[in-house]
Homo-oligomer: A and B are copies of this chain.
Amino acid sequence: MPIITLEGPPILEKAVRRSLVEELTRSAAKAYGLPEEKIIVLVRENAPDQVAVGGVLLADRP
């Protein structure tokens, strides 16, 4: 039941998203010594006005 949650900017290309969840799953399965079917990945995509770094929203960056 290990769960990997990703928070990041939107991933627009489906192929990139597919490879990413495959790779994360493979790495986690190996580390935990569990079959890949036990690994869950949640992909959260944040809009630029939902994230701030250093007190500045990404949407306000020059």
A31 and B16 contacting across the interface, CB-CB below 8 Å: yes
From the candidates B27, B36, B54, B56, name the one contacting A23 in the complex (CB within 8 A). Answer: B27
Chain A interface size range: 35 or more
CA distance A8 to B25 in the complex (A): 13
A22: which B residues are within 8 A, CB to CB?
52, 55-56
A41: which B residues are within 8 A, CB to CB?
51-53, 55
From the candidates B6, B14, B46, name the one contacting A4 in the complex (CB within 8 A). Answer: B6
A39: which B residues are within 8 A, CB to CB?
53-55
CA distance A51 to B24 in the complex (A): 12
CA distance A23 to B57 in the complex (A): 12
